[in-house]
Chain A
Amino acid sequence: MIARLIDGVPARALILLGLLLAFALFAPLFASDYVLTVLILIFYFAYTGQAWNIMMGFAGQLSLGHTLYVGLGAYTAAALFVHYGIAPWLGLLVGVPIAATVGAFIGFLAFRFRVGGVYFAILTIAFAEFARVGFDHFAWTAGSSGLFLPVKQYSGNDLWTLRGEPVMFYYVLLAATVAAFIGCRLLLKSRIGYFWLAIREDEEAARAAGIDTFRYKMIAVIISAAMTSFAGVVYAFYYNNLFPEQIFHISRSIEIILGPIVGGIGTLFGPILGAFILTGIAEALTEGLHAIGVDVPGAKQVFYGICLLFVIMALPDGVWPWLKRRLGLTERQS
């Protein structure tokens, strides 16, 4: 498995990845509280972007409702903790299957009845919206008034119940990002990865090559939904409050997909790079505008939009494919 994991990867890329990982591991020793919260956000988006990328980047199925799975994971684990004191690591054994089942249901509806392209995207938005409206009236999760996790002063970091300092969440999300990166690499280099790419490129030709496209699209949705919902569990315990109006809002789905788009859809490192770039720009703009004393509402969003526009116009395939060539990290031919 290790052999397959690093097969064809240039030594330079492995060294760079190692350095990056070492940097990420030791960052909390040097980072201020503020920088640490930014890094947490970056790894949150790197991880969820990676999960979304399985569906869009690998299997070619555009989901614009991925925050649905974040919310389902978050609400399930949080409600089980609030009501029964069930630890999130056990709660996710419930939340992740729920998200995967909902993903499978949406996938089944769409793929069975040949709903594709933008219509599939609309279907994913619709289900996220159902959840947003539905959870507003769902008493068990406190409806629209929001679900709050008890916050106390903790003597230390309790990893089992995810109660503690930001640095604990940083390491949890870093581990999740690394695991997702490795997992996606293995998937992409396996039989299923080739089938996904074939489906993404040309579904009819994929079927002619013997691929059961329904089955492999379903697997992509289920894996992607399950992975995304884990981010939701962490989100709930990090922020300690959940509102349907926020967590199921379409803007959250868009936030998830921007990283991979900017970094490079269908690439393995794109979602990570994209998360760094976007969160980096957003924070730099906040700080920058604050420093020069600009206090116009929406100014940040305008600048953010311009930056996005520039990246997409200059590098339509994303930043990573370009950077990869510049760094000379193209894979060896076997």
Chain B
Amino acid sequence: MKPLLEVQGVSKRFRGLLAVDKVSFEVPQGAIYAVIGPNGAGKTTLFNMIAGVFAPDGGAIDFAGEKIDGLPPNQVAQRGIGRTFQIVRPFPALTVEENVIVGALMKRTDVSAARAHAHEVLRRLDLYDKRAQRASSMTLPDRKRLEVARALATDPKLLLLDEVMAGLRPTETDRMVDILKELNRDSGLTILLIEHVMRAVMALAQHIVVLHHGANIAEGAPADVVRDKAVIDSYLGAEAIA
């Protein structure tokens, strides 16, 4: 079976800086994959290329068997890729419910149907009771969950999560991990996450891609990747496996 997402040798250069250097990997349908690596490794740039914010300078990205590189973000979303932003950007003046309705309206024309779907998603993410709150008045963990909810409401096949655990307390991280696992198990949602919180990565990911200076330096099962010498040297540090 063809993988859901195929990233084939993509590169992106910002002036002199080679932010992403011929990175290739594949994400099979129904999997949870993680991209890790130090700050500045090119993780978010890679995400932005998948999500259509930038077109790659080289290489190709296929999703569900179709080429998506070069498509604008809204068309990538329409094809079935939902995303969150590293620095959360919910619609601040809108309520939690309205934020999620916007996502739900991508594939629904009727507002009441979208509201019903939004309520379903909000319940999954423990935000239903806060649906009347303005997004701007929420705490960071709630806003992170709201971002996930809005992306989820578009009924994606693949969910790109850019550091949704950052800034969360361990209990909140565990809650998010549980939610993501549930989503993956119940609806077969494929998830690709960028994450620094190794606790979450190890709990979630079946496969890890490690970026360093824009290049893919290691890839494989979590247990193997964290023992990889190059990964320890460049990112995790020796104490990580002690």
Residues of A within 8 A of B (CB): 4, 189-191, 194-195, 197-198, 201-202, 204-213, 266, 333-334
Is the pair A194, B111 in contact by a Cβ cutoff of 8 Å? yes
* A209:B92 contact, CB within 8 angstroms: no
Q: Which residues of B from 74 to 92 have beta carbons under 8 Å from A?
A: 74, 77-78, 82-83, 85, 89-92
A209 touches B115 (CB 8 A): no
* A207 contacts B77, C-beta separation under 8 Å: yes
Measured CB to CB, the closest approach of chain B to A90, in angstroms, equals: 34
A333's nearest neighbour on chain B, judged by CB, is B132
Binds A, one of B9-17, B25-33, B99-107, B219-227: B99-107
User: B interface, how many residues as a size bin?
Assistant: 20 to 34
Q: Is the CB of B103 within 8 A of A209?
A: yes
Q: Are B78 and A210 in contact (CB under 8 A)?
A: yes
Query: In angstroms, how far is the closest chain B Cβ from the Cβ of A328?
Result: 16
Chain B residues closer than 8 Å to A205, beta-carbon distance: 85, 89-91, 150
Q: Are B89 and A209 touching (Cβ within 8 A)?
A: no
CB of B115 within 8 A of CB of A334, answer yes
Minimum CB distance partner of A192 in chain B: B105
What CA separation (Å) do A197 and B132 show in the bound complex? 16
B56 CB within 8 Å of chain A:
no
Which 10 pairs from chain A and chain B are nearest by CB?
A201-B91, A210-B77, A210-B106, A207-B73, A205-B89, A198-B102, A207-B74, A333-B132, A209-B103, A202-B89
Q: What CA separation (Å) do A264 and B110 show in the bound complex?
A: 28
Say whether B231 faces chain A, with CB atoms less than 8 Å apart. Answer: no
Contact between B111 and A190 (Cβ–Cβ < 8 Å)? Answer: yes
| A208 contact set on B, CB distance < 8 A | 51, 73-74, 77, 82-83, 85, 151
- Chain A positions within 8 Å of B85 at CB level: 204-205, 208
Q: How far is the CA of A266 from the CA of B89 in the complex (A)?
A: 20
A-B residue pairs in contact (CB < 8 Å), sample of 14: A197-B93, A197-B94, A197-B98, A197-B102, A204-B85, A205-B150, A206-B91, A206-B102, A207-B74, A208-B77, A209-B74, A209-B103, A209-B151, A213-B74
Taking CB atoms, residues of chain A closer than 8 Å to B89 are 202, 204-205
Query: By the criterion CB–CB under 8 Å, are B132 and A211 in contact?
Result: no
**Docked pose: A213 CA to B73 CA in angstroms:** 10
A212 to B106, CA, bound (A): 10
Contact partner of A191 among B51, B82, B90, B111, CB < 8 A?
Answer: B111
Binary flags per residue of B31-62, CB closer than 8 Å to A gives 1, else 0: 00000000000000000000101000000000
The reply to whether A194 and B102 contact each other, CB–CB distance below 8 Å, is yes
What residue of chain A has the Cβ atom nearest to residue B147's Cβ? A205
Contacts of A197 in B (CB 8 A): 91, 93-94, 98, 102
**Contact of B98 with A194 in the complex, beta carbons under 8 Å:** yes
The verdict on B109 contacting chain A, using a C-beta distance below 8 Å, is yes
Q: List the A side residues contacting B91 at CB < 8 Å.
A: 197-198, 201-202, 205-206
Contact of B65 with A by CB under 8 A: no
